[in-house]
Amino acid sequence: MSKFISQLEGIVSPDWATLAVVALLCAIAAYVVKEYLAHPPMIIFVYPIMIFFALAGYYLFVSTEQFNPKKVDQRLMWTILAAIGGTVIGSIIVTLLATLRERVAHRRPPPPKPTRATR
């Protein structure tokens, strides 16, 4: 359990510059995605999912040493790539949850049809 907590702490504790870039890119993507949602206020739930998966992607890049964090251009490129990945994964998860919700709602039997009185 301590390993899981240390991994989770690594995901949610990037520096402020990285967090600002990820939050800005996810906010732009959330603004665009909002127009395509059936219920636009649902973006309140989509945005944190996007940020979490973007930070998880960034942590994956850092932990596997995909780039040199000392070089600003590489760091920015991988941060942007992580934000794009988080946006895509967050959008896919929300889409799957909405589809699941619609399928569960359609499983209910239809209400009975009214009967006509015959003469």
Q: Three-state SS for 38?
A: coil
Angle between helices 43-63 and 2-11 (to 10 degrees): 110
The pLDDT tens digits along the chain (119 residues) read: 777 777 777 777 777 888 888 888 888 888 887 777 767 777 788 888 888 888 888 888 878 877 766 676 677 787 888 888 888 888 888 778 778 877 877 766 667 777 776 66
- pLDDT given for residue 78 in this prediction: 78
Mark residue 65 as left, alpha or beta (left: phi above 0; alpha: psi -120 to 50; beta: remaining): left
Would you state the pLDDT for residue 116? 74
* 61 in Cβ contact with 80 (< 8 Å): no
CB 77 within 8 A of CB 25: no
* pLDDT score at 69: 64
Looking at residue 108, its pLDDT comes to 66
pTM greater than the 0.85 cutoff: no
Chain length of the chain = 119
